[in-house]
Structure 1
């Protein structure tokens, strides 16, 4: 049965029916033909075009398998690099993204039987980073092997090593400083304790000295008599009366002192005779 012409109603109806992904077992990779059901795939397998293509593939099957595997790996890695870069992503999740394109190269035409085997191959060859995760299972990430990326990785690695060495040196220095500070604090505390102990010993004599002093006091008290208490002195009485004071006889009064001169008073006090008065003739 001939194919429907491009743009015809039959062609559009076939495209609408074949929209989206179909069963993988009804896809012919040699002819790039997707069938909708088992009957359609059976009819295609009996067609002249399919028989002729399978005769060409049968002449050198390894060549076709290697070509299909190379195309699948190239498309897989290219889309991984574009969509996720060097970030890890689940292998199953990414494979579902890859097969959204109907025209993609199918894995059943390659030399890898399963996706797990293909991911392990990528990890062994150093094409991708592969790791096992408890939650997402097998995870893959693209590995940039270009010379610029390798040089950039080396520079980053050198910087990290330098930082690690610097951090180790700083840690050692900090440990030394902490040890030195701790030793100084212990020495200072020891000196402070010794100083306090010395002050305490000076302020309070030991019990032995107290006992000796007490014994000496008791011995002295036995040999000497007890001292009698001294009577307090009588209080001094002050008088504020207005009685005139009596002038002693041997002292001159205030008026006599005024009548005499200083020199005469001195002579009389010394016991000398008074000068005789001169008479006027």
Structure 2
């Protein structure tokens, strides 16, 4: 059956049917044709165009494989540089981005048997930075090898080295200051202790003399019995001085009797004078 003309309804219908990714097992890399099912792939393999193309590839298979490998490598690195730059990305996730293009070169047509081997090749050649994540996945990042990028990296390294030296010098200065402060603190403590010891030594001789003059008391000797204490609960009246009447006598003699007695005494004194 002849092919549909470009721009015809049949051609557009075929394009719509073949839109998107199809099975890799039904893709012919030599002819660059994607088949939709096993029957279509079988018909394509038996076609004259496929047989002629396979004869050309069979004359120098290494050359064909090298060409496919070169094309795959170029497209892979170009997409990595433009989409992610020098940022680390999961290799498997990026490969899924790469094969979204329907016309890409498949890896089974290249000299690398798997994506892991290809990523290891990029790391060995220094084309990309390859690291392993905590989960065990391979991370890749494009490495810019242009002269400007190399000079920029060298300038960054020199700046980091200067910062490291400055930090090391600051650390040394801080250590020296800490050691000096520690020595000064120890010297101050020693001076204070020496001053206290001098004060104690100056104050100790008088106390020693007093201790020498005072008789030594034997603590083990028996102590004399103290005199018994007498306790009396009686109340003794205070002694009244002579010539003074007590409080009870003063209260017993009234004011009027005292005045009369004084008048009588005056009269007796007058009579005696006469």
TM-score in terms of structure 2 length: 0.75
Deviations 1:189-239 (A, max 9, x none): 111122233334445657533312435xxxxxxxxxxxxxxxxxxxxxxxx
- How many positions carry a matched residue from both structures? 216
Aligned mates of 2:32, 2:123 — CA distance in 1: 30
Aligned mates of 1:190, 1:120 — CA distance in 2: 67
**CA 1:176–1:47: 2 relative to 1, 3 Å:** same
For structure 2, the residue ranges without an aligned partner over 5 or more in a row are 216-274
**Retained in 2: the 8 A contact 1:131–1:140?**
yes
Aligned partner of residue 139 in structure 2, secondary structure: strand
1:113-262 mapped onto 2 (5 Å cutoff) = 113-135=113-135, 137-203=137-203, 205=205, 207-214=207-214
Q: CA deviation at 1:166?
A: 1.8
Aligned partner of residue 2 in structure 1, secondary structure: coil
Deviations 1:2-21 (A, max 9, x none): 22122322222212211110
Q: Which moved more, 1:12-21 or 1:177-186?
A: 12-21
Q: Which moved more, 1:7-16 or 1:81-90?
A: 7-16
Instruction: Indicate the residue corresponding to 2:108 in structure 1.
Output: 108
Q: Which moved more, 1:108-117 or 1:7-16?
A: 7-16
Instruction: Indicate the residue corresponding to 1:4 in structure 2.
Output: 4
Aligned mates of 2:172, 2:86 — CA distance in 1: 36
Aligned partner of residue 214 in structure 2, secondary structure: helix
**Retained in 2: the 8 A contact 1:90–1:136?**
no
Instruction: Indicate the residue corresponding to 2:13 in structure 1.
Output: 13
Aligned mates of 2:127, 2:213 — CA distance in 1: 98
Instruction: Indicate the residue corresponding to 1:251 in structure 2.
Output: none
Q: CA deviation at 1:149?
A: 0.7
Q: CA deviation at 1:136?
A: 5.5
| Backbone CA RMSD of aligned residues | 1.7
Matched, 1:99 2:99: yes
Q: CA deviation at 1:111?
A: 0.6
Instruction: Indicate the residue corresponding to 1:244 in structure 2.
Output: none
Instruction: Indicate the residue corresponding to 1:83 in structure 2.
Output: 83
Aligned partner of residue 7 in structure 2, secondary structure: coil
Q: Which moved more, 1:12-21 or 1:191-200?
A: 191-200
**CA 1:78–1:38: 2 relative to 1, 3 Å:** same
Aligned mates of 1:19, 1:3 — CA distance in 2: 18
TM-score in terms of structure 1 length: 0.73
Q: Which moved more, 1:84-93 or 1:188-197?
A: 188-197
Deviations 1:25-46 (A, max 9, x none): 1111111100011111010000
**Retained in 2: the 8 A contact 1:131–1:139?**
yes
For structure 1, the residue ranges without an aligned partner over 5 or more in a row are 216-281
1:39-58 mapped onto 2 (5 Å cutoff) = 39-58=39-58
Aligned partner of residue 22 in structure 2, secondary structure: coil
Instruction: Indicate the residue corresponding to 1:228 in structure 2.
Output: none
Deviations 1:102-150 (A, max 9, x none): 0111111111110000001111111001111232611111111111111
Aligned mates of 2:66, 2:208 — CA distance in 1: 108
Aligned mates of 2:136, 2:11 — CA distance in 1: 42
Aligned mates of 1:186, 1:128 — CA distance in 2: 58
